[in-house]
Amino acid sequence: MLTEALKKHWGYDSFRPLQAEAMQCVLDGRDSLVVLPTGGGKSLCYQVPAVCRDGLAVVVSPLISLMKDQVDGLLACGVPAACINSSLSADERRWVANDVRSGKLQLLYIAPERLVQPRTIDFLRDAGVSFIAVDEAHCISEWGHDFRPEYRELRRLRDELPGIGIHAFTATATEPVRKDIATQLGLREPDVLVGSFDRPNLLYRCERANSKIDQVRELIEQHPNESGIVYCLSRKDVEEISAQLNAHGLRTAPYHAGMSDDNRRRNQDAFIKEDVETIVATVAFGMGIDKSNVRYVIHTGMPKSLENYQQESGRAGRDGLEAECVLLYSMRDFGWWKKTIEESAASNQAAATASLQAMVNYCSGVRCRHRSLVEYFGQEFELASCNACDVCLGDLDLVDDPLIVGQKILSSVIRQGENFGIEYTALVLKGSKDQRIRQKGHDHLSTWGILEEEPLQALRDWIEQLISQDFLERVGEYNVLAVTPSGRELLRGNISPRLLRSVDSKKRQKRTTEKLAVDWEGVDRDLFDDLRILRHDLAAQAGVPAYVIFPDATLRGLAKFRPSTPEAMLRVKGIGEKKLADYGEAFLECIRDYCHENEKPLDCFE
């Protein structure tokens, strides 16, 4: 039943990991907590069972834009769905209520604050609710990275609708957050399904931010005609970076909370409809975006936690195709976040500080990025190499004698009295004649200029790498460097660090291009471009995002196999019966015309 529904409406004939188990929980009426990474297909875990069960599935969703995208997508697949939120007029809300009463709808999306109102609960008691799905369930946990107080009220649903199964879904939740979600929702002996936090289709890279706008521009230019997100820490950065990128001929739009609602909505729609390729935004952007074909996510500043980074970078490659995630960081970001945490009145400052330190270690670390993320969330990473990050791809070259370099750096820290920070220490090692260094007499230290042949940036990087490997630590209000017990062992020669230096940007770009080209194998790129233009035009006519028509993965399948008939078109993943009926002939005509003009064969399935 589940397989048939998946194929009929969504055009897929197999499940992703844990999807079938999650769907069976819903069919059986057992409470569940499902943690699947962004792009893991968690929405289908409640949408497919809603089609298979009698009654109305109620989905709790925190954002209007997310509701709209989900409903548009369901309607395009032939699934009756609607939402109730503040964007609807009184007449529109009455129409939805009438459709619920008449049994026309299979899914109803609703915001948490509206759902727990007494009138809403009374209405749903008579609506034949089959189950409740709580999306973005981490919002209920005070230990989560996106706590929303209104989610706490959802506990009432267990008491008010006692016989109905409740299912929580989220993309990022550590074990303490998972336990808190189950407690706060009152889940009854829930099946807890936790998928792998690894996103093997994402290519992770971390770079020091030096010439930020040039770095961002170079990255975007590697993805011509593709959609991407550039995240910034401040509204000012959003405006400046978007303007500078546009001045270089790129098509971007800004998005932040300081803009008017109309301007934000217009820019978001332009990005979703692919009228602009890149959205430059603060990190608040994207939670309600269901856009599947984001090919790159660039952070121009360090997020405050790995939970945040996992979710924000996870907005790339939701269609399962290769995508690039690049984090440009500096220690100024660390200082900014640390000050923000210390000035907050939150009760979990210690946990927030620990999360921030884990984020710093990730940025400056020399371990596989995929391994670091997976192990942070409490899972094992079994591969020796992910072959999808700057460390494993060799974008960072090993220092020839890391033990000697490490000993020189730690020796300087000790001779400076363990009373100075990263920048000062790097200048001493470089042999700087800075006035402050001369005033302290540190130009007479035996370690002054001991690494003068190395670039200053490399010295900063190595110090941070020694911190991430626990040979050095930052202490006190001013983050001065101190040698740890492991660092003492390094000085004795009993243990060696792993120190890396960045490779040439052209070499890195070549490796990235080769890695991202994997999913294009066999795809006719010219035909893909024609199909993409057709998709854009059809989406504009229908008033829906382009990916609602077909995701990029489906367009690539069409451009690879070049089907000539409706029957052949159904063999391409992502094409169900409703979409075939609505759009099949237009795409088939485009494929036939292209193949005729270019003398290309059709139906290349063998």
Residue 308 has a pLDDT of 87
Cβ-proximal residues to 425 (8 Å cutoff; 6+ apart), any chain: 409, 412, 413, 416, 459, 463, 481
- Residue 123: inside a domain, yes or no? yes
Please tell me whether residues 35 and 162 are part of one structural domain.
yes
Please tell me whether residues 230 and 120 are part of one structural domain.
no
Residue 501 has a pLDDT of 79
* Cβ count within 10 A of residue 211: 10
169: enclosing H helix or E strand: strand 165-170
Residue 147 has a pLDDT of 63
- Residue 255: inside a domain, yes or no? yes
Please tell me whether residues 328 and 346 are part of one structural domain.
yes
Please tell me whether residues 209 and 66 are part of one structural domain.
no
Please tell me whether residues 89 and 118 are part of one structural domain.
yes
Residue 505 has a pLDDT of 66
CA–chain centroid gap for 536, Å, is 24
Please tell me whether residues 338 and 405 are part of one structural domain.
no
Residue 601 has a pLDDT of 94
- Residue 509: inside a domain, yes or no? no
Type of residue found at 38? T
Residue 146 has a pLDDT of 59
Residue 194 and residue 313: Cα distance in Å, rounded?
Answer: 19
- Per-run averaged pLDDT (10 residues), the chain, 606 residues: 93 92 95 88 94 94 82 93 88 91 94 88 90 90 66 86 92 84 92 91 90 92 92 93 95 91 88 91 71 93 90 89 93 83 75 87 88 90 91 84 96 96 96 94 95 92 88 89 96 92 68 73 94 94 89 94 95 94 96 95 90
Structural tokens at position 333: 């970001």
Cβ-proximal residues to 206 (8 Å cutoff; 6+ apart), any chain: 326, 327, 329, 362, 363, 364, 369, 390
Structural tokens at position 321: 């195709």
- Residue 603: inside a domain, yes or no? no
Residue 507 has a pLDDT of 66
CATH value at residue 248: 3.40.50.300
The pairing of strands 32-35 and 165-170 is: parallel
Residue 163 has a pLDDT of 87
Range of the domain at 120: 2-194
Residue 339 has a pLDDT of 84
How many structural domains are present in the chain? Answer: 4
SS3 of 458-475: the string is HHHHHHHHHHHCCCEEEE
State the DSSP string of 397-455.
EEPS-HHHHHHHHHHHHHHTTS---HHHHHHHHHT---HHHHHHTGGGSTTTTTTTTS-
Place of tokens 């939970």: 307
Backbone CA torsion sign across 369, 370, 374, 379: negative
Judged by DSSP in three states, 33 sits in: strand
Residue 8 and residue 288: Cα distance in Å, rounded?
Answer: 26
Residue 587 has a pLDDT of 97
* Cβ count within 10 A of residue 398: 12
Question: For residues 121 and 160, is the Cβ–Cβ distance under 8 A?
Answer: yes
What is each CA distance from 419 to 480, 481, 488, 517, 572, in whole angstroms? Answer: 5, 7, 17, 49, 63
Residue 320 and residue 41: Cα distance in Å, rounded?
Answer: 10
Domain final residue pick, 178, 194, 210: 194
pTM of the model: 0.81
CA atoms within 13 A on the CB side of 476: 9
Please tell me whether residues 36 and 138 are part of one structural domain.
yes
